[in-house]
Chains A and B, each alone.
Chain A
Amino acid sequence: MRIFVTGIGIISALGNNAQQNRSSLSSGKSGISSLEMLSSRYASIMPFGEVKISTDDLIKKMDARESGVTRTDLLALHAFNEAVNNSRLTPAQLSDPNTALIGASTVGGMCLTDELFLDSTSREVGSPYLSSYDCASPVMYLQKRFSIGGVINSINTACSSSANAIMYGARLIKQGKAKRAIVGGTDSLAKFTINGFNSLLILSDAPCQPFDEARRGLNLGEGAAFLVLEAEEDVKDKNCYAELTGYSNTNDAFHPSSLSDNGDGPFLSMQGALRTAGLETSQIDFINAHGTGTENNDLVESRAMINLFTTPPPFVSTKAYTGHTLGAAGAIEAVFSIFSLVNDEIYPAVNFEHAIADTGLVPAKKFEKKRISHVMSNSFGFGGNCTSLILSKV
């Protein structure tokens, strides 16, 4: 059974919808900037990939006045609305028992770090956010708002979470457990994650430089993306953006927060995705790499790409545009991969100067129009969780 993407929705530091995101990527314009919406002592020290709409404006814009709604929920709602409208899903289709919603978030309502601290330690009367903190909250919020009737799930495999949400949705459809699946992820910037990644000494105080010899770490970002997946026989006259042909989930089984020297997990997930898609390495035209900009990831991912492809195809890490959006990254980058397929174009690496000496790999350096038939998108996370997806031209 073939699985098609019939709707996409995205909000990131590059813009509030698909068109704005693509336009920024095409012009090589990064969304990394200083923090304006969140107060943190790192606001003036480090750059971030922030969505430049306040939480209050998001509430007003979407009339999302339910009690306990968080920024993570709102980013999800924004991208969800665009994807669902784009695929022309009706309210009746949303509440149908054959419509699945598979989301992902690593921060959930913990974007309200201070509220969570007070509720969990000293308050006598709880805040409105008591049931909004866990990472299932964004999915539960969307389920309730739209009465979504099918399988509901939230996946948490750290930074590969939403790539796994996409994979799970596709498998549900293939096994007849859903006719359509709305799949994606959301995360907002939070003191929790900023301090977490900072304590691991992997945040860069300058705009990140994925795959550069001089890379100094990652920039955190926020955003959300959702895709509507449907089986071939249900697509009918709908516009299909892409076919989801390949996916694979593996584990690096090496360390809780870093990848093995040779990148067994990344190698196996890329290889597994090719196998599911029935493709040869030579058929991949472009790779949206995980490319966080950390010392460890970029070296290991490069080695794994060389081990698998010998000469890897053009690749880029769009995290230099959006920052690392954690649980949203896999879905955001799947949408970027779809832009490449639909428009036959590849987006240039920003902030790249010198190849990593050990591998010599150079990412795509300029915007280029060329025929793109198959794009691979990589997502790797803490816990050794590696997932690769392949999206193909329809």
Chain B
Amino acid sequence: MFYIYKTSCISPQSSYGSPALSELVASAGNKLMAQEPVYSGIPPGILRRMGKAVRIGIGAALPLIADKQETQGIIIGTANGGMEDCIKFLNQIIEYDEGKLTPTNFVQSTPNAIAGQLGLMQSNKGYNITHSNRGLSFENALMDVDMLLAENKNAKYLVGAVDEISAYNFRIEWLGGWYKSEDSSNLNLFENESDGSIAGEGAAMFLAGNEKQGSICRLTDIHFFQTDSAGVVKEALTKFLAKHLPSGKSPDLFMSGENGDRRMQKYYEACTGSLAANTPVLSFKQMCGEYPTASSFGAWAACEILRTQEIPMHMLRTSSSTSNTPISSIFIYNTYKGNQHSFMLLEK
């Protein structure tokens, strides 16, 4: 359990700086691309060499680390890091038949380049790590911070997640059947009952610590696991909620990671079936698209809802009215490809 004080997010929506989430920005070509801000805090010479994942990761983190003394470590989750740089380097290998190559793409392609660059820019010599466990990279980053804060009570940490769309990983995931083969839009993501989702990307960053004062909310618990079985998800959910909520009580909101892929629906239905029938269900993948660390966008959006007490209409998946009672708890369930699953409970 820990508290979140500040958040920052670069995503396909207007999420950076002063977020404006009521209007849903539309996708193009089955992709939701990040809206990148002007990166005034990054020296131009460094900015030019950065690939997109590094750029949006650093850009999202900058507002949280303006004060150099504030964080004792940097914990990033990313499944792929700089995928574009990775394949650009691969192209060089093939094109020049392993001849003389330039190293920039190689250095930028390592997933730890984001956390490393943040450490460098912040002169932060503390704990620095990159978790790359595909669809549970962000979740492991959160668990790491939870452990760090138990080990170092007075510390604060920067934790977040980044992944990018590149032409190459889009193609690989598309070949794998994870993106819709028909032309689709996020504006009606849940209406087409077909396989696959639409691609997304983004960077979400959080400042975390043990002090309650000055916090937006707390991450009460996180739990993640591997299974193909919706029954196992249902069982784990019951256990998770029983641990944190009074018997029979459901969280104020259920934020679902459903992504328009009909094969994933059984997992989300296992969750809605276990919550009180009138629990409002929200979705977030129409905003950020599907990517391995999309749950970090979900967590960011949950923090925004707890902070502002406002729910963008396009997020509501159920007609159940969100009455005027304050929103104090949000439960997030997400699955990546139906075999990696995570629960997060955020509370005011």
Contact = CB atoms under 8 A, between A and B. Distances in A.
19 contacts: A97-B225, A110-B86, A117-B94, A120-B90, A123-B175, A135-B111, A151-B140, A153-B131, A154-B133, A154-B134, A156-B110, A157-B112, A157-B115, A171-B147, A191-B98, A192-B90, A256-B113, A257-B107, A383-B116
Contacts of B176: 126, 130-131
Interface stretch (A69-77, A194-202, A225-233, A339-347): A194-202
Interface of B: 74, 79-81, 86-87, 89-94, 97-98, 100-103, 106-108, 110-113, 115-117, 119-120, 122-134, 136-137, 140, 143-144, 147, 150-151, 168-169, 171-173, 175-176, 224-226
Interface of A: 40-42, 97, 106, 110, 113-114, 116-117, 119-121, 123, 125-126, 130-131, 133-136, 139-140, 143-144, 148-149, 151-158, 164, 168, 171-172, 175, 177, 191-192, 194-196, 198-200, 249-257, 264-265, 268, 381-385
Contact of B80 (A134, A155, A254): A134
Nearest to A114: B94
B120 A255 contact: yes
Contacts of B74: 251
A250 B125 contact: yes
Contact of B98 (A106, A195, A381): A195
Contacts of A250: 125-128
A171 B129 CA distance: 14
Nearest to B94: A117
Contacts of A149: 225
A121 B88 CA distance: 11
B172 A171 contact: no
Contact of A249 (B93, B113, B127): B127
B144 A383 contact: no
Q: Is the interface of B mostly helix, strand, loop or mixed?
A: helix
Contact of A119 (B101, B113, B123, B171): B171
Contacts of A97: 225
Nearest to A198: B101
Given A134-B80, A195-B101, A172 B147 contact: yes
Given A120-B168, A253-B124, A383-B119, A155 B103 contact: no
A239 B58 CA distance: 46
A156 B132 contact: yes
Q: Closest 3 CB pairs between A and B?
A: A383-B116, A126-B175, A120-B168
A152 B132 CA distance: 11
Given A136-B79, A136-B132, A151 B107 contact: no
Given A42-B98, A116-B90, A383-B116, A153 B140 contact: yes
Contacts of A194: 98
Contacts of B144: 168
A133 B176 CA distance: 12
Most central of B74, B101, B116, B171 by chain A CB within 10 Å: B116
A110 B172 CA distance: 13
Contacts of A113: 90, 93
A120 B169 contact: yes
Contacts of B173: 130
Given A114-B94, A120-B168, A383-B113, A256 B101 contact: no
B338 to A, nearest CB: 12
A156 B226 CA distance: 20
A152 B227 CA distance: 12
B116 A256 contact: yes
A389 B27 CA distance: 47
A152 B127 contact: no
Contacts of A153: 131, 133, 136, 140
Nearest to A269: B125
A214 to B, nearest CB: 24
B112 A381 contact: yes
A192 B83 CA distance: 13
